[in-house]
Amino acid sequence: MKVTYRTKDGQFTTQLESETETGLVEQLVDFQNLLEKNTVCGSCKSPEVFWNIRENDAGKYFEKKCNKCFAAMPYHVNKDKVKKGGLYFSYKDKWAKYDPSVKKTEDDAKVFTEEKPAAKGKK
Ligand SMILES: [Zn+2]
């Protein structure tokens, strides 16, 4: 079955297609997590939130970032065996502003390769 889905704000549209309802829901959840969650800054409540990518020697870091106060919500990259190229956030993640006094390189690297905790029982 095919479904055309538009985000609540009307900004994005996607085509979902699967032979099963579970397959459709998986695609829908991914799309909603990507484009319909964390659309308001958790720090200052501004709706001026955009995708951002930071890069350093350890890799790329995907985040949603507030254009007003610059707080960011990190998204993690799925391991290939879970979902190649997938992005997710977990409910323990919080909007935070960059603090140059905190050396986070090791934590960032760990977060960058962290496995999706919600993957259990997904199928
Ligand atoms: Zn903000």
The three state secondary structure string of 39-65 is CCCCCCCCCCEEEEEEEECCEEEEEEE
**CA 55 to ligand 1 centroid distance, Å:** 21
Both tokens of 22, joined, read: 């579970």
Q: What is the pLDDT of residues 70-101, one digit of tens each?
A: 999 999 999 998 889 999 999 899 999 987 77
- C-alpha distance from residue 103 to each of 29, 64, 107 (Å): 33, 21, 9
Going from the Cα of 59 to the center of ligand 1, the distance in angstroms, rounded, reads: 25
Tell me the sheet residues that pair with 53.
62
Q: What is the pLDDT of residues 13-45, one digit of tens each?
A: 999 999 999 999 999 999 999 999 999 999 999
Cβ neighbours around 73 below 10 Å, total: 21
SS3 state at 74: strand
> Which residues, by Cβ under 5 Å, contact ligand 1, an ion?
41, 43-44, 46, 66, 68-69, 71
pTM, two decimal places: 0.73
**Cα 99 to averaged position of ligand 1 atoms, centre (Å):** 15
Render the burial of 50-68: b for 16+ CB within 10 Å, e for the rest: eebeeeeeeeebbbbbbee
Measured CA to CA, the distance from residue 29 to residue 27 in angstroms comes to 6
Given pLDDT bands bounded at 50, 70 and 90, which one contains residue 123? very low
SS3 113: helix
User: E strand or H helix at 15, and its extent?
Assistant: strand 13-17
Q: Which two tokens stand for residue 121?
A: 């029982």
| pLDDT at residue 115 tops 70 | no
